[in-house]
Amino acid sequence: MIRCCGLTHRYDQRLALDGLDLQVEAGEAFAFIGPNGAGKTTTIRILATLLEPTAGEAFVAGFSTLDQADEVRRVLGYMPDFFGVYDGMRVWEYLEFFAAAYRIPRPDRRRTLDDVLELTDLGARRETNIEHLSKGMRQRLCLAKTLLHDPQVLVLDEPASGLDPRARIDLKELLRELTRMGKTLFVSSHILPELADFCSTVGILEAGRLVACGRVDEILRAVDQGRSMRVRVLRDLEKAAALVEETSGSSRVRVQDGVLLFQFEGSLEDLADLAERLADQRLGLVEFAEARTDLEDVFMRVTQGVVC
């Protein structure tokens, strides 16, 4: 459904994309992640026909973004990270304006507006002035606008940016519903745990190159060398960390949100000995458990913080 072939782009002398090869199948929810400056937004703008690559080519639903831009726009819905809304307009007026821009026939517009308002749970806000909407409601409105022409492919650039936790959960459920409807989602976001909840595949971009790509579970297994462990103590976390660091087989020791995390490649007997030593130090050991590797951990392992 989405295919990038040797996609390359330069801004003057800066290389933003370096021969990107990528394929997303129909019906997939694809997470596109990477550090700032990795080339994510450049890729998205090329897919949305807003930017031409320096070299290479991209296809959406079989249409070239270079030679068949109009066809691409008919099958693709693009939600940018920053978007404009028009104060002084009511929700239905805003959608009516874009329905006309999408050339949806006037007799069909009322039904189309009703459908997207119901899908995005904005029906009760139909008559609300846009300036009175919360940030989360404005995100929903932008998504509703993006869905007006019933696109096969949705390209969403940081759709949860600036949302509070409840609004992010609501948006995540809405994106799940869109995948159940058979839409292909291409989602860029920095909120990695939530992407893993509904995205089946992931691509990790760094310095314009794809450093990992595939099903989320397969990538997790590929990078999960040894055991991911978590330790929580009530007293002297620094002493606990030092004890772990000096233990053979331990690596990537770090503290996150008051919890000690590390990789362990030794035997179960070695792991039991470490737990006993921590307990003997009277640090108030309350947790010593194997942690599930998540998308954030994968991201930290396969990227080096390099920018173009």
pTM of the model: 0.78
Average pLDDT value for residue range 161-179: 86
The CATH class given to the 225-292 domain equals: alpha beta
The pLDDT, as a whole number, for residue 13 is 85
* Max intra-chain CA distance, the chain: 77
The pLDDT score that the predictor gives to residue 117 is 96
How much of the chain exceeds pLDDT 90, in percent? 66
Q: What is the spatial distance between Cα 226 and Cα 268, in angstroms, rounded to a whole number?
A: 11
- 125-156: per-residue pLDDT in tens? 999 999 999 988 998 999 999 999 999 999 99
* Tokens 């409840």 sit on residue: 166
Domains 2-220 and 225-292 share a fold: no
Decide: 198 and 176 in contact? Cβ < 8 Å.
yes
With cut-offs at 50, 70 and 90, classify the pLDDT of residue 212: confident
| pLDDT on residue 195 | 77
Q: What is the mean pLDDT of the chain?
A: 89
pLDDT band for position 278 (cuts 50, 70, 90): very high
pLDDT over threshold 80, residue 193 = no
Higher pLDDT, 241 or 303: 241
Query: 286 pLDDT band (50/70/90 cuts)?
Result: very high
Q: Which of 276, 303, 109 is nearest to 206 (CA)?
A: 303
**What dotted CATH number matches 2-220?**
3.40.50.300
Residue 289 vs residues 88, 186, 233, 264: alpha-carbon distances, Å: 55, 35, 12, 11
pLDDT of residue 221: 65
Domain spans of the chain, in order of start: 2-220, 225-292
pLDDT above 70 coverage of the chain, percent: 93
